Structure 1
Amino acid sequence: MNNEQRFINLLGLAQRAGKLITGEAQVLQSIRGQKAKLVVISTDIGQATRKKISDKCTTYQVSLLTFMDRNVLSQAIGQPRTAVAIEDQGFAKALLKLNIGEGA
């Protein structure tokens, strides 16, 4: 299993464990509330949304990864989304360790 598949599997596991926040507004709220440990956005997210999330992550010092398109991200978590926040340090660390995607 390659690192991309591991990343997708870990996102799904985080979703089932209830450690994943989905949706633009909820992700921004999680960042502002300093609960988000890592934010993952799709490669095809809108420019305005990308900037808004990126700026918040920079302000609150939250790691941000741009990885996979919205279809793959949606499939991984079981619902149509372009942005997710991981609120668990263990999952965030494991996902970052895989060294997938690019920092935005």
Structure 2
Amino acid sequence: MRFGEYLKQLRKAKGMTLVELAEGSGFSHSYLSQIETGKKRCTNVSPEVIRGLSDALGVTHIGMMIKAGYLTEEEVLIYRRESGINDLKGGEDVVTGDQGESGSGD
């Protein structure tokens, strides 16, 4: 799934309009629309933009970085292991921060 498709799906699942996400993230709704429709490719979406989007959507920054292709789940798990962070709180999903099974769902 493209990052823009993921962003749109996540936004709709949170019950947000594009305008509401724009207001919450500090980015224009036209810019966000370009991301969602694929006119603005993921490689042009900076980690700072992803941080603003994740904050506005209430999801993990790391999860969105994985979906955007900046990180892999394996890299995150290796980092966690190397840092001594071995358990996920209550079965938290590495990608979304949601409770339940771990993984990206792709």
Ranked by relative contact order (alpha carbons within 8 Å, sequence separation 6 or more), the top structure is 1
**Same-fold call, TM > 0.5?**
no
Flag the structure with higher strand content. 1
TM-score (norm 2): 0.28
TM-score (norm 1): 0.28
